[in-house]
Amino acid sequence: MKNVPFSDVRVTGGFWKNKQDLVREVTIRAVYDRFKETGRIDAFRFDPEGTGIQPHVFWDSDVAKWIESVAYLIAEKPDPALEAMADEIIGEIAAHQAEDGYFNLYFQQFAPDKRFTEHGKHELYCLGHLIEAAVAYYEATGKDALLTCVKKYADFVYDLFVVRDGAAFVTPGHEEIELALMALYRVTHDPKHLDLCRFFLDERGKHPERDLGAPRLGLKYAQGHKPVREQRTAVGHAVRACYLYSGMADFAKETGDKEMEDACRALFDDIVNTKLYITGGIGACHFGERFGAAYYLPNDAAYAETCAGISLAMFASRMQQFSADVRYADVIERVYYNNVLSGLSLSGDEFFYVNPLELDPAALTVLRENGEKAPLSHRPRIFSCSCCPPNITRMIPTFQRYAYTVSEDTLYVHQFLASDAKISVAGQTASVRQETDYPVSGKVKLTVKNYTGRLAVRVPSWSSEYAGEKKDGYLFFDVKGETEISLDFCPAVELIAADPRVSADCGRVAVCRGPVVYCLEEADNGPMLRDVRLSADGIFTEAPSAAYGLPVLETEGWRSEEGEGLYRPYTGSLKKVPLRFIPYYAFANREEGGMLVWVLVKD
Amino acid sequence: MKNVPFSDVRVTGGFWKNKQDLVREVTIRAVYDRFKETGRIDAFRFDPEGTGIQPHVFWDSDVAKWIESVAYLIAEKPDPALEAMADEIIGEIAAHQAEDGYFNLYFQQFAPDKRFTEHGKHELYCLGHLIEAAVAYYEATGKDALLTCVKKYADFVYDLFVVRDGAAFVTPGHEEIELALMALYRVTHDPKHLDLCRFFLDERGKHPERDLGAPRLGLKYAQGHKPVREQRTAVGHAVRACYLYSGMADFAKETGDKEMEDACRALFDDIVNTKLYITGGIGACHFGERFGAAYYLPNDAAYAETCAGISLAMFASRMQQFSADVRYADVIERVYYNNVLSGLSLSGDEFFYVNPLELDPAALTVLRENGEKAPLSHRPRIFSCSCCPPNITRMIPTFQRYAYTVSEDTLYVHQFLASDAKISVAGQTASVRQETDYPVSGKVKLTVKNYTGRLAVRVPSWSSEYAGEKKDGYLFFDVKGETEISLDFCPAVELIAADPRVSADCGRVAVCRGPVVYCLEEADNGPMLRDVRLSADGIFTEAPSAAYGLPVLETEGWRSEEGEGLYRPYTGSLKKVPLRFIPYYAFANREEGGMLVWVLVKD
């Protein structure tokens, strides 16, 4: 089983076309403008006295992800101006790459004698993102300037780390290069690239004296507490973790390393069974941006970084290549329709890094007075560590990459979006058209041409349709020539409860409609959202909303009756109130105020 | 209206006698032993090279409160050994007091040139506690050695602050001396003592450039943001606040300062209407040990310092002298039966500083990994800042001081405990006997002799008895000669709800029986306490418990039925489970585990 490249699938309309157009028309340039304003672009001119600004050690990666995003956008639709902007940065990289192949904005300009002396300084992480950008840009444009640079740098790293053991540390402090090397290897077929990936995976967890973790959090912070093949529990920094697991899965798929595959399966299960927000967010803890203990999923204090959700989707898409298990596509869908989209404002130029499932204005005020970490209740245009915005610009335009996989004898359909695809499968080039307004409705019309063989179509786990017909979450069809299949997954409103070990959610339900989690906002429902009750048999009315691209949900609920005193005998008296739920991903696009996903339910 | 001294009331048995005996037999010496071990006692020998230990700037106050506690205990029942221990420390104070009257363990021994140079260094706070100790010790023993010392020190402070303006700051960084000076003035009748109190009250909030606040929290931290007569909202460090408000109330009572009295009334209302835990705890925030915004009362993250509860009871007892308002005695009762008693282990030698209303072991693990402030789930024997233990030893033995007030024509009974009192009222010396096992039952038999006049007996606000007969929360009787009055307040189990603005408590109830808040502990009920549901019509059975001195409560509740998956369609299926509630004050006296006050309720 393998994934189908995003460029084989053209999005033709509907929900994702709107989001992708927004990124193309607004977000990609907004991110560039912010990067320009903050010195991230000019840093590539290596004229520090001219700009007067000292780059952060991770700035290379921010801009690399922007270049990668441009590659995906221009592969889909030419944009010479955008391409010229990327070319200019790539030109500066080629011009300033060190003789030996090294490249890093900060170290070359400000600490040339400190290269590869500190485990936590992101040099290999930056190279990873440069590699991903180079591969994407080469595939989109045929231009190999950046690819040439990163191959030279990768050769340098191979020599330094593998041949000479000449760095202060052995494996990256922030994983990412592992999955990037696998992408590079699939283009270059250079065994050194595979070997370098193998080296970084094999050595992780074996050099605690050199591959340091983080203060207080120790080796687990960067998954360096034990060899990767022995890891079974997701720990530490969530983005680091899922980038690592993605690289592990890529490597296991490429080499047939069953031990590595088993570790990936266990890690995936641990995340989705115990550490996943209903929005697809992972990494509950602000401190260390990391996984908490199993079932530790606070809503107001949720971290759920946008990049972490993205990294989980990346991990799931790798797992999808091992076997057809509907849970992988379910997770990708959950992440994308909630935690990823919430990272971007409806205007397309503001971003969330942290994606809480509750905003309680009074509590936020106190946390801010305390100087404690608290989620923002509005989206800024950039962050000092601005990894999330260019991750959004590279992921939203390529959602279609998760739509299909092919095995020797089966074409799998995992995600639903209006699109035309040409897919190589079983020696044929199948043409697959999806006509759908999913997830507005659950109706999908599939037209498959030029393919004779087995077709598997995922039934999303939230759907109660096709219960008797599906196998492992998929419907199977034998198709021949031209086939039309019409499906309807009927995304009804459903109240979802959490495992009672999730203490934050006890006695509460989330309102979901298909893959989309909904929320209450103060702008619609007034303050004191935690006092609102739903009942199991409440009737929800759907009202179309152009602003959200999905209906809003209206229903009747209850609130406490007025009472006297801070504490008062419990009477159970409730009054009916109208309620309006909006898609979670659209929260915080109006005036600042309270927001709530998990709502009390009348048992 | 004025309070009746604790020494006019002798506790003869029952609930408080048991607690007071525990303090007398265990706690007072346990605190001394810890103070000895940590160098707090030997620091008074002024032999730093001998001990090698540098005192904290607040150690004087810790030991002063211990001496004050000894005074109360030996006033009630002689204990020559304890008195000798106190005398020895007092002797050291007298021997080492500076020529000019100054005394402070830290500054005299380690920074003699820094006296009164830093607003936040607790010198006046320490003097305040030394004054309280001196007055109590003088009244208990007739010995005036310590009283002589503090008068000399107070004279020095008067000269330095009022006459010469010779300190770096104008008013204390940690209030306490204000109320202490009022206590001193009532013994000395020296107008300078009243004037010094007036000076510290009048100048507060007028010197922001010299009377600094705390980093990030600013002037509000120590109530220095505006003149005290203009303050209407309780802000900042909760103990500082209520010690200040107590001093303000004392001063207003003594001088008839109506503006000051109005400020006190507003501040009291603000606390009890918006910032009070059901346990009587105040100061919700760990950071700054301070009041949060109105209705910000998180349960797991509650600070609710033992000393803060005590300071609120002190404030309420001052307010009780302005007028007979049942809310004052209600607050004192709420604080004492819950937040104060929870500060002491059942064994009498371990202490809580922080008194949360919920312990969630998984969340605590994460907070500790984060290095964030988290409540302890067991009581230590001492703290590095050990203000709470000697506050408990001075407050529990004197609970009877809150039992009575007298006005020109009325004798008020506010608190109920088995006791004999001789009370000066309306030119008579009334004898009042209370026979009661309150709060085990609500039965109180009052026998009043040698008094002809009006008797007012508080009906606790939790009681639904005497609804038609009481006025402003009190029952009024005209008594003459010898009178017997038998009352029963019937402390039934009641479910209490919070104002829905308290977001942490929405959909939840607290189980209360009379003045006592109950809680669920994991030791009795297993883990996942937040999933437990009660119903409004549940039947509670009371089972006597010698360990707690109050019955435990048994009932049936519900928990979620087993289910599959981290997230699952809500079914509303619940299963019945037996539940056991214990008094909140007795939590964390067994193995460590979860605890919960606010329990879900089936609407």
Q: What is the pLDDT of residue A49?
A: 77
Closest alpha carbon to B547 in B348, B349, B362, B403:
B348
Q: Are A342 and A278 in contact (CB under 8 A)?
A: no
Residues composing chain A: 603
Check the CA dihedral A509-A513-A515-A517 and report its sign. negative
- For residue B503, give the chain A residue with the closest CA: A530
A114-123 residue pLDDT tens: 999 999 999 9
Around Cβ B431, how many Cβ atoms within 10 Å? 15
Separation of alpha carbons A402 and A405, rounded Å: 8
d(CA A129, CA A137): 12
Minimal C-alpha gap between B202 and chain A (Å): 28
Distance between CA atoms of residues B500 and A529, nearest Å: 9
Q: What is the pLDDT of residues A264-290, one digit of tens each?
A: 999 999 999 999 999 999 999 999 999
End-to-end alpha carbon distance in chain A: 45
Catalytic annotation, residues of A: 289, 387
Cβ-nearest to A497 among B272, B536, B570: B570
Q: Range with the lowest mean pLDDT among A149-163, A366-380, B23-37?
A: A366-380
Q: Give me the half-sphere count of Cα atoms (radius 13 Å) on the Cβ side of residue B19.
A: 28
Residue contact A600–B507, C-beta within 8 A: yes
Residue B355 near residue B600, CB atoms below 8 Å: no
pLDDT at B424: 96
Across the interface, whether the CB atoms of A536 and B570 are under 8 A apart is answered yes
Nearest to A570 among B292, B362, B601 (CB): B601
Are residues A293 and B563, on separate chains, in Cβ contact within 8 Å?
no
**Of B285, B528, B572, which has the smallest distance from its Cβ to A500's Cβ?**
B528
Region B5-31 average pLDDT: 97
CA atoms within 13 A on the CB side of B5: 13
Q: What is the DSSP string of B87-135?
A: HHHHHHHHHHS-TTS---HHHHHH-GGGTT--TTS-HHHHHHHHHHHHH
B379, B55 Cβ separation under 8 angstroms: no
- Note whether B1 and B406 are within 8 A (CB): yes
Judged by average pLDDT, the poorest of A1-15, A356-370, B528-542 is A356-370
Report the chain B residue with the minimal C-alpha distance to residue A567: B498
Nearest alpha-carbon partner for B585 in B309, B316, B288: B309
B289 catalytic per annotation: yes
Q: What distance in Å separates the CA atoms of residue A168 and residue B261, rounded to the nearest whole number?
A: 68
Structure tokens at B603: 């609407």
Tell me the backbone φ, ψ of residue A72, rounded to 5 degrees.
Answer: -65, -40
Which of A182-196, A356-370, A389-403, A479-493 bottoms out in mean pLDDT, i.e. has the lowest? A356-370
Q: Which whole-number Å values give the CA distances from A375 to A302, A335, A353, A357, in the listed order? A: 8, 19, 9, 10
How many beta carbons lie within 10 A of that of residue A36, not counting itself?
Answer: 13
Whole-number pLDDT of residue A163: 98
Measure CB to CB from residue B566 to each of A276, A370, A506 and give the nearest one: A276
* Contacts of B39 by beta carbon, 8 Å cutoff, 6+ apart: B51, B53, B55
Stated as kind and residue range, the H or E segment containing A424 is strand A419-425
**Contact across the interface for B298 and A363, Cβ inside 8 Å:** yes
Name the pLDDT band for B373 (thresholds 50, 70, 90): confident
Q: Under DSSP, is residue A493 helix (H, G, I), strand (E, B) or coil?
A: strand
Amino acid at A459: V
Cβ atoms of B598 and B357 closer than 8 Å: yes
**pLDDT at residue A347, rounded to an integer:** 98
Which residue type sits at B233?
Answer: T
Q: What is the pTM of this model?
A: 0.96
- Residue type at A159 in one-letter notation: D
Residue of A nearest to B572 (CA): A603
The pLDDT score that the predictor gives to residue A55 is 93
Question: DSSP state, A49?
Answer: H
Neighbours of A132 (CB within 10 A): 25
Nearest to B247 by CA among B406, B121, B132, B392: B132
Query: Which residues does chain A have within 8 Å of residue B572's beta carbon, measured at their own beta carbons?
Result: 536, 601, 603
Q: Please report, rounded to a whole number, the percentage of residues in chain B having pLDDT higher than 70.
A: 100
Q: Which long-range contacts link A186-191 to residues 24+ away (Cβ below 8 Å)?
A: A187/A135, A187/A138, A187/A139, A187/A147, A188/A151, A190/A151
Q: How far apart are CA A491 and CA B108, in angstroms?
A: 76
Q: Nearest-CA residue of chain B relative to A292?
A: B366
Question: What residue ranges in B382-499 does DSSP mark as E strands?
Answer: 404-406, 410-413, 419-425, 428-436, 443-449, 453-458, 474-479, 483-488, 493-498
What pLDDT is stored for residue A370 in this prediction?
Answer: 81
Are A497 and B567 within 8 A, CB to CB?
yes
**Distance (Å, rounded) from C-alpha A11 to C-alpha A14?**
8
For residue B65, what pLDDT is reported? Answer: 98
Confidence of residue B470 (pLDDT cuts 50, 70, 90): very high
A567 and B278 within 8 Å at the Cβ level: the answer is yes
Q: What is the mean pLDDT of chain B?
A: 96
Local structure of B3: helix, strand or coil = strand
- Residue-wise pLDDT tens digits, B262-312: 999 999 999 999 999 999 999 999 999 999 999 999 999 999 999 999 999
**Using an 8 Å Cβ cutoff, are B553 and B494 in contact?**
no
Going by C-alpha positions, the residue among B573, B571, B567 that lies closest to residue A461 is B567
pLDDT score for A257: 98
Q: Are A62 and A386 in contact (CB under 8 A)?
A: yes
Cα-based torsion angle of the residue sequence B162, B167, B173, B178 in order, rounded to the nearest 10 degrees: -20
Mean pLDDT (chain A, rounded): 96
Q: Can you say whether the dihedral through the CA atoms of A329, A331, A334, A337 is positive or negative?
A: negative
ipTM of the complex: 0.96
Integer Cα distance of A82 and A32 in angstroms:
10
Question: What CA–CA distance (Å, rounded) separates B269 from B260?
Answer: 14
Separation CA A76–CA A70 (nearest Å): 10
Which residue, chain included where needed, has tokens 């409440």?
A538
Q: Tens digit of pLDDT for each residue in A174-217?
A: 999 999 999 999 999 999 999 999 999 999 999 999 999 898 89
pLDDT at A213: 86
Per-residue pLDDT averaged across A316-329, rounded?
Answer: 96
3-state secondary structure A498-543: ECCCCHHHCCEEEEEECCEEEEEEHHHHCCCHHHCEEECCCCCEEE
Q: What tens digit of pLDDT does each residue of A50-70 get? A: 777 899 999 999 999 999 999
Closest alpha carbon to B135 in B75, B58, B95, B79: B75
- Summarize pLDDT for B552-584 with one digit per residue, the tens: 999 999 999 999 999 999 999 999 999 999 999
The CA distance from A32 to B533, in Å, is 52
Position B490 pLDDT exceeds 80 = yes
Measured between beta carbons, the chain B residues lying within 8 angstroms of A467 are none
B440 vs B38: CA distance, rounded Å: 39
Query: CA A439, A441, A447, A452: dihedral to nearest 10 degrees?
Result: 70
Residue A210 phi, psi dihedral angles, 5° rounding = -115, -35
With 80 as the cut, is the pLDDT of residue A418 above it? Answer: yes
Q: Under a CB-based contact definition with an 8 Å cutoff, are residues B418 and B437 in contact?
A: yes
Q: What are phi and psi of B78, to 5 degrees?
A: -55, 145
Say if residue B51's pLDDT is above 80.
Answer: no
**Residue B230's pLDDT is what?**
98
**Quick check: A48 pLDDT over 80?**
no
- Using alpha carbons, select from B539, B538, B535 the residue that is nearest to residue B508: B535
Q: What percent of chain A has pLDDT over 90?
A: 95
- Length of chain B in residues, anyone? 603
The predicted structure's pLDDT at residue A187? 97
Task: Name beta bridge partners: A595.
Answer: A359, A521
Reported as a single tens digit per residue, the pLDDT across B224-240 is: 999 999 999 999 999 99
Q: Check B531 against A216: CB less than 8 A apart.
A: no
Q: Say which residue the tokens 């330094």 belong to.
A: A160
**pLDDT band per the 50, 70, 90 thresholds, residue B213:** confident
Across the range B185-201, mean pLDDT stands at: 98
Q: Which of A255, A126, A102, A103 is nearest to A180 (CA)?
A: A126
Number of other residues whose CB lies within 10 A of the CB of residue A216? 12
Peptide bond into A439 cis (omega under 30): yes
- How many CA atoms are closer than 13 Å to the CA of A595, on its beta-carbon side? 29
